[in-house]
Structure 1
Amino acid sequence: MQYIYENFTFPPDQSFTVRSEILEVKKYTSLKSHVNFEIALIENCFGKRFVGDHIEDFKGTELVLLGSYLPHCWQYYNTIDEKVQPQAVVVHFFPDFLGKDLLAKPEAALLNHLFENASKGILFSGPTVARAKIILNQMLFESGLSRAALMLQLLDVLAQSTSCKSLSSPSFNIVETSTEANKINRVFDYIFNNFKEDISLQDVASIIPMSTAAFCRFFKLKTNRTLVEFIKEIRVGHAAKLLMEGNHNVTETCYKSGYNNISNFNKHFKEVKGLSPRDFIKQYKITA
């Protein structure tokens, strides 16, 4: 997995951008960050969400607001309905896209609070998602002041929402320097290319390079996890994907996800998912 910075240049006649895109499933995507804020509506797929030090499975439709420089990506494992293409509507903007004076007004108090909380990422649910989806789809076909008015309406819906939660932890430190980004890039790239094999602390620390003690402090500071915890979550996430696809039984999934024995696999899977692999697939079949 690559860690990349994205630079967006807005067209001269636009103060923010909105676009729709078809999502590519069954592929690891880049962990990225950018200076502008992002609103992302994801539909008709399941996979894993990465926001800061937050890692979680997702399924169906979700709406997320991301603040400046917050690392993020979605791994799209597969579609929910094979007859419908998985897609996203994405907005990139700066909080002061209509001028700093707007944010200084008393009516913008909730909006300022929303932007502050966006530094950790916000996941919305319930009626907020349904209302936002309608507005986002309208924005795709509007321009000028009509689209700007819809953008304000969208932000107002998000600012007033009580159906939301923060994603990244308060202790998460945003990576802003190119040196740190390069280190994280190399570590993540190694882990995602080798999680099905044995990975030692010494091997990963030597990539940067750092002593094992220094690496442990660095990795915990940047991800809020130990290396062992991070690898466990990646392996279990991959195992969950295989189980949901339905082409492998539990034993086969165990060995295809970097584990050497079924007992350790079952233990780690339950620690991450709260269910045994067999109970997980039973629950998935009921809700699918």
Structure 2
Amino acid sequence: MKPMLESINLDANASLKIEAYLNDTYCESAGWHVHPEYEMVYVKNGAGQLNIGAKKRTYTNGVLVFLSGHIPHADFGNKDNEDNLEIVIQFKKEFLEEKLKVFPELGQIMELVKKSEHVLIFDEETHRALWDDFRKFENLDYQGKLINLLSVLDFLSKKGTYEQLFETFPMDSHRKDEIRRLEEIFEYVNNRYSQNISIGEISAQVGLTPNSFCRFFKKMTKRTFIGFVNEFRTGKAVEFFNESNSTVTDVMYRSGFNDPSYFSRQFKKYQGNTPSLYLKSRYGS
């Protein structure tokens, strides 16, 4: 079974995506999926199974995993214990090439990140040693999260003990081309979501006819392109609502919608509530 390509959207003010999930606020399963972003996952406790590529590994008391992009995998967490906490950190290769790489002092961290191509599973001692650092993430602002991640990477690059799951990870060249094409599509939407998005324009940009483009996108993501764009835009609308107590109309236009009733239907479909009720629940009447 081919993995679904997962779209990971970063907040406008962040170069990382860091999410914290408690046992009662567990993230919706992505199933068997792949994405170009690097990913580090810390699971506090409980037992589970890692399904990465063609390999499986069980863990019994939480786990810490670090893998590079383009590696198919299933969800890592579990719901065994009420006090469980799962921290998921994701960042793009540009975070390394445009930010970290300019500092020669971070050479050891860059070496560690390079090794994540083999998938790193850290031992229990390393996992326990970083508990205090990982539980901080959910209460930090953007700057604090970045600084805390660098601290975690510094520890892992100097003192972390790990197993490399793969000696090398084989990547089918055709599959790699498909993922690059999807990355280009996602980047197009990320840059154009507030404007008119033309299937004719994006399909020509990635070298497909409109019909072939729609079939390709559905095959790779198990969803329609229009559905993906609407979900992306409603996600942006949530970001704008969370930034400030803006009007529904203002957020509607900023996130790329032009029709109030259509915006309301799509927002409720993907976010579970109408824009006005979401705004009221966040800021009160």
TM-score for the superposition, normalised by structure 1: 0.53
What is the rounded CA distance, in whole Å, between the counterparts of 2:78 and 2:110 in structure 1?
Answer: 35
Q: Does the 8 A contact of 2:109 with 2:157 survive in 1?
A: yes
Looking at structure 2, the residues matched to 116 and 179 of structure 1 have their Cα atoms a distance apart, in angstroms, of: 18
Closer, same or farther in 2 for the Cα pair 1:115/1:75, shift >3 Å? closer
Alignment of 1:1-288 (within 5 A): 3-22=3-22, 30-74=31-75, 79=80, 84-97=82-95, 100=98, 102-170=100-168, 172-175=169-172, 177=174
CA contact (8 A) 1:44 1:84 kept: no
Greater share of residues in helix? 2
Q: Deviations over 1:21-44 (max 9, x none)?
A: 24699x996221111111101133
- Could you tell me how far 1:20 is from its partner in structure 2? 1.3
Change (3 A) 1:136 1:177: farther
Aligned to 1:140, the other structure's residue is in SS state helix
Tell me, in whole angstroms, the C-alpha distance in 1 between the residues paired with 2:78 and 2:142: 37
After TM superposition, which residue ranges in structure 1, 4 or more long, deviate above 3 angstroms?
22-25, 74-78, 175-182
Q: 1:21 to 1:162 in 2, by over 3 A?
A: closer
Higher relative contact order (CA 8 A, sep 6+): 1
- Preserved CA contact (<8 Å) 2:44 2:131: no
Offset at 1:152? Answer: 0.9
Equivalent pairs, count: 177
**1:192-247 deviation per Cα after TM superposition (whole angstroms, max 9, x unaligned):** xxxxxxxxxxxxxxxxxxxxxxxxxxxxxxxxxxxxxxxxxxxxxxxxxxxxxxxx
* Aligned residues with identical type, % of pairs: 16
1:10 partner SS: coil
Unpaired stretches in structure 1, ≥5 consecutive residues? 183-288
Gaps of 5+ in 2: 180-285
TM-score, scaled relative to structure 2? 0.53
AA of the residue aligned to 1:52:
G
* Residues 23 and 175 (structure 1), Cα distance of their counterparts in 2 relative to 1, 3 Å cut: farther
Instruction: Indicate how the Cα distance of structure 1 residues 137 and 177 shifts in structure 2: closer, same or farther if over 3 A, else same.
Output: farther
Question: Residues of 1 paired with 2:83 and 2:177: CA distance?
Answer: 36
Letter in 1 for 2:157: A
Greater strand fraction, Structure 1 or Structure 2:
1
Distance 2:176 2:100 in 1: 36
Cα displacement (A) at 1:143: 0.9
Distance 1:49 1:97, change over 3 A: same
Q: Which amino acid aligns with 1:55?
A: K
In structure 1, distance between residues paired with 2:18 and 2:146: 11
- Distance in 2 (CA, whole Å) between partners of 1:180 and 1:145 is 35
Distance in 2 (CA, whole Å) between partners of 1:180 and 1:99 is 21
2:45–2:63 contact (8 Å) kept in structure 1: no
CA RMSD of aligned residues (A): 3.2
